[in-house]
Amino acid sequence: MFYTVLSYSIGMPLTLKSAYQYRLWLTKGQERLLGEMLETCRWVYNETLATRKRAWEEQGETLSLYATQTLLPDWKAERPALKRVHSQVLQNVQVRLDLAFKAFFRRVKAGEEPGYPRFKGFGRYDSITYPQYGNGARLEGTALVLSKIGSVRVNLHRPVEGRIKTVTLRRSSTGKWFVSFAVEREVEPPTDVPDAAVGVDVGLEKFATLSTGETIANPRFFRQDERDLARAQRRLSEQPKGTFERAKRRKVVARIHERIANRRKNFAHQESRKLVDRFGTVVFEDLSITRMVKNHCLAKSIADAAWGQLIQYTTNKAEGAGRCVVLVDPRGTSQQCSRCGAVVKKALSVRVHQCPHCGLEIDRDLNAAYNILRRGLPSQGYEPQEAPRL
């Protein structure tokens, strides 16, 4: 079983959807105003959630998005702070909550763990969106002009290509502000797509093993900074809650987490770019990572590896490069012999695949990479392949 994440015919017009993110440089006054806007949006989110919750508990009625948005004018009359936030930003807050409810109902119908929408605590609402570019937010040179805020300097390290659809402002856990532009543009599909295909088996001992025989070492970014993080967290726990010193030390912990995340993101970007540049078809396992991290013995290592990030970035880059990403069923890729197809049971600690039927003896992860490639090739019209005879 397999499915193609991305593919299109050569010569067809291609519409790319991408995002550009830039750092914002704010004055103290602008930072204060944006912080107040976030808190106002948080209040709207919580009040809308409370209203929908009361309507269901008291009247058995499910309020629609339109019904909640008709409440905004009355709230503005009662709470003047809402008038200092752009109207479409406030409407977008309720759109987010409506999407959270739709996801909740979808999970209920699917028999999954529902996860009812939660109220946002102080500091837990960290982004606002202008859903219509030019209405409340527009880019003028290297400055972002925002309604109710003014002109904000942007670190425009590369030009924005395409038609800007939405503008999102986000405050990171370390207090930095970023702007993201969601962009749409049409490009001519590339004609120099390589014919080569590769199967990628991700793991913990090695980050990834390619069906070409190459391996990618596991950088283990979290493990590298684990001591620094533990030290910073101990110092944080020593301070009483609500004190200035605790807030200061919380930022130190947040900076370490941010540093780890940035290194991991950069690594995933680099490796995904190499895969997209070299291969026309990249085949991954369709892993259920959220279920895998429930294994408490391996959860930290699995989360540190961030396999899903590699697959996501490869898929995003493949879209503009005319490549194809395929996800296949991961069951049995390590146990099945890539040459004869026999099932050879082995524990996770056994790192060599030895087939008693055909005599194949190769690295366990390389055997899995061959199987992954063979499962993904039929989706692109290729004949299945077996492991090369050594």
Active site residues: 201, 285, 365
Helix (H, G, I), strand (E, B) or coil at 139: strand
- Written as six digits, the tokens of 185 are 């543009």
Which candidate, 260, 268, 33, places its Cα nearest to that of 169? 33
Distance between CA atoms of residues 208 and 206, nearest Å: 5
- For the sheet with 143-146, list strands across it: 127-130, 163-171, 177-187, 14-25, 150-154, 143-146, 137-140
DSSP state of 375: H
Q: HSE of 102 in the Cβ direction (CA atoms, 13 Å)?
A: 8
225, 260 contact by CB (below 8 A)? yes
Most distant CA pair in the chain, distance: 79
CA-CA-CA-CA torsion sign (235, 240, 245, 249): positive
Strands 137-140 and 143-146: antiparallel
371, 336 contact by CB (below 8 A)? yes
- Written as six digits, the tokens of 85 are 């936030």
DSSP readout, 32-89?
Answer: HHHHHHHHHHHHHHHHHHHHHHHHHHHH-----HHHHHTTHHHHHHH-GGGGGS-HHH
Helix (H, G, I), strand (E, B) or coil at 187: strand
Which spans in the chain are helix H?
28-59, 65-69, 72-78, 87-110, 221-224, 226-237, 244-278, 289-292, 299-305, 307-321, 364-376
